[in-house]
Chains A and B, each alone.
Chain A
Amino acid sequence: MKILVPVKRVPDPATTIRVLPDGSGIATDNVKWVINPFDEIAIEEALRIKEKQGGEVVLVAVGQQTWQEQLRTGLAMGADRAILVRSEAALDTLAIARLLAKIAEEQKPDIIILGKQAIDDDSNQVGQMLAEMLGWPQATFASKVEFQDRKCTVVREVDGGLETVAFDLPAIVTTDLRLNEPRYASLPGIMKARKKELKEIPADSLGVDLTPKLKIKKLDPPPKRQAGRKVASVEELVQVLHNEAKVI
């Protein structure tokens, strides 16, 4: 089975994020960058599928030169090769999906597994857009993925429970948190990754319309958490929730 796994570079979830004073972005000095945790789960799932049935795991990222660090990490985990679609400009989800669709047409994977969302902008769109563009079935928020021949069964995490869907390949699956626990990159894996293929393709060579449809106007940091306060009685609590917090 040939598996394509799109990978995004995001700030380490443990890093304290500071929004630039003018709201145009976040301060990136001192930020540690990692693979988007949901994409890491996608890589792990792809590797497990490959270990069971053989095949190839191909990583793809759309970003700058520095993004090869995250691709190398994925290669160190065990992926076979990687493609970096070079774009200096930040692209919106639609452009990313278009580029990935193009890569998919070229690579002809049996399945594309990607994170349900990136933890930086939480868009939750690329997988769905990609399914539409390719005309493939999709299963988002997967917590279990199984195969029988060319048929794939996915258990999805939906509000209030689980939903099981089945469909034929090729298809798109987006990962949820409980799907698996990503492995370590072993030290021999890290050394092997050095020699694996990492191909760069300029984004503007793919004949895709990259004009942004979406503009980020401003970022605001979340409001500072206020100190807690003790109330004397349930009556007072209800009063405060109603009159001050206005939540009930």
Chain B
Amino acid sequence: MQSSEHNGFASNSPNGRDAHNRLLESMSAVGIANKDVVEAPYLTQEHILFREQVRRFVDTEVKPRGEQWEEAGFVPRDVLRRMGELGFLGVRYPQAYGGSEMDSIATAILAEELGKSTFGGFAVTVLVHTDMASPHLANAGTREQLERWMPDIVAGKKIAAVAVTEPDAGSDVAGIRTSARREGDNYVLNGSKIYITNGVHADIYFVAAKTDLAAKGSRGISMFVVEKGTPGFSVARALKKHGWLSSDTAELVFEDCRVPVANRLGEENRGFYAVMKNFQNERLVLGAQAIGEAQAAIALTLEWVTQRRTFGTTLWEKQAIRQRLAMQAAKVEAGRQLVYNTAWLASQGRDCVKEVSMLKAYCGELVNEVMYDCQQFHGGFGYMREAAIERMVRDARIHSIGGGTTEIMLEEVAKRMIPSRDRT
């Protein structure tokens, strides 16, 4: 630390001391505000109680163990099972399968609180299972299919992954090339998938493949359920990543992989629309997760800057620092309100593609901006592996890429900003 002798007036004079105490007091108020952010008016007692339970789980079961999972490269199964027992994996699913039939707001709460764990890899492991993969089954599954797989998914006994992206097609979903050729009562899958979250350790995969090679991309895609161990299906490799280290990510290969017709989800050639529909929930959840991460980063940074002293005062006493954090807190709160308002729209069954795309773009960029400042204010320590903020910076980077890049999201917004007849 630098010498503080030359700058004595702020904290040594009696007035300075008072100011310091007032600051500390206002800090504890910030602490409270941070713990108990004002809840949206449409939140019910059940929502709030659910949030408390998830928060307790994160504090007691996740935060103390997260580092180990980062080392191991995945989240152990017992953690996911425990979440299943507590009903956290079946928020919106029918009671008949162990679910709780809550709404999108509860889903946003789950994602936000998991994001606050400071382990993005853990959060996404859960959220891919609950909100990006299994919705394919929930939305399109027949009664038979639901009965077959849903109870184990809700209980955390079978973990799910969704495989759309391929080496040659990510943003451009219609451009996928994995094929599914009909042969009697089976489809034969050939192709590969990449960057698949939960890809190494999942039990059940929801796979997009082309069933009509001649049709225009968006009209020839179908969704299939492929279980681990199906002959012809293999995990080619576990991928090493920049962040999300506690999340396992894989490249998958299908070589003459035979899947019964009974494993097709929904109508043949309607898979593209299912993927597009599920993206809405997925993006809402990723936005909520990002906002949770941003809040946790600001809280961590507040702890740091109120302790750390340079030039005779804490960093918090420097306006340059606290004003920037205040502005970031304001933006995060704005993003949070957008997330919850959109979740509310979704819970009312209202069309909110524009809002979902906005929040995905906004929160995905904002979380990176917030992380930059938070790491910056940690000084040299923020660059060290032992600092939580260092991990959080790496984890946040994906938010502007995964589940729909910022650019693609902005195209979705732009399309809806002017009436279609005025578009060129």
Contacts and interface: CB of A to CB of B under 8 A. Distances in A.
Interface string A19-38: 00000000000111000000
A187 B50 contact: yes
B35 interface: yes
Contacts of A185: 49, 53
Nearest to A194: B46
Interface in B10-55: 21, 28-29, 31-33, 35-36, 45-46, 49-50, 53
A81 interface: no
B325 interface: no
Contacts of A189: 87
Contacts of A15: 32, 35
A86 interface: no
A76 B49 contact: yes
B32 A16 contact: yes
Contacts of A30: 29, 32-33, 36
Given A72-B45, A185-B49, A191 B100 contact: yes
Interface string B44-79: 011001100100110000000000000000000000
Given A184-B57, A187-B100, A32 B87 contact: no
A73 B46 CA distance: 9
A28 B50 CA distance: 23
A186 B101 contact: no
B235 interface: no
Contact of B85 (A14, A76, A186, A224): A186
B90 A187 contact: yes
A69 interface: yes
A76 B45 CA distance: 11
Interface residues of B, number: 26
B279 interface: no
B98 A188 contact: yes
Nearest to B101: A191
B110 to A, nearest CB: 9
Question: Interface residues of A toward B: which range?
Answer: 20 to 34
A32 B35 contact: yes
Contacts of B31: 16
B384 interface: no
Interface string A181-201: 000111111110110000000
B360 to A, nearest CB: 26
B99 to A, nearest CB: 8
Best-surrounded residue of B21, B31, B32, B50 (most CB of chain A within 10 A)? B32
A190 B56 contact: no
Nearest to B36: A32
Interface in A179-235: 184-191, 193-194, 224
A8 to B, nearest CB: 17
Contacts of B91: 187
Contact of B100 (A14, A73, A190, A224): A190
A69 B50 contact: no
A186 B85 CA distance: 8
Interface in A71-119: 72-73, 76
B334 interface: no
Contacts of B87: 186-190
Interface in A50-70: 69
A182 to B, nearest CB: 10
Contacts of A14: 35
Contacts of B85: 186
A55 B250 CA distance: 51
A193 B49 CA distance: 11
Contacts of A184: 53, 56-57, 86
A14 B49 CA distance: 17
A105 to B, nearest CB: 31
Best-surrounded residue of A14, A186, A194 (most CB of chain B within 10 A)? A186
A69 B31 CA distance: 23
B22 to A, nearest CB: 13
A187 B57 contact: no
Contacts of A31: 32
Nearest to B49: A190
Best-surrounded residue of A15, A16, A187, A193 (most CB of chain B within 10 A)? A187
B325 to A, nearest CB: 19
Given A184-B53, A186-B85, A190-B50, A69 B45 contact: yes
A159 to B, nearest CB: 30
B72 to A, nearest CB: 25
Contact of B53 (A190, A191, A194, A224): A190
B88 interface: yes
B86 A190 contact: no
A213 to B, nearest CB: 34
B102 interface: yes
Nearest to A73: B49
A240 to B, nearest CB: 23
A72 B49 CA distance: 9
A32 B31 CA distance: 12
B356 to A, nearest CB: 24
A66 B271 CA distance: 48
Best-surrounded residue of A16, A30, A72, A191 (most CB of chain B within 10 A)? A191
26 contacts: A14-B35, A15-B35, A16-B29, A16-B31, A16-B32, A30-B33, A32-B32, A76-B49, A186-B85, A186-B86, A186-B87, A187-B50, A187-B53, A187-B86, A187-B87, A187-B88, A187-B91, A187-B100, A187-B102, A188-B87, A188-B95, A188-B98, A188-B100, A189-B87, A190-B50, A191-B102
Given A30-B29, A187-B90, 8 more contacts: A32-B36, A187-B91, A188-B87, A190-B49, A190-B53, A190-B87, A191-B102, A193-B46
Going nearest first, the 4 A-B pairs with the smallest beta carbon separation are A187-B87, A16-B28, A186-B87, A187-B100
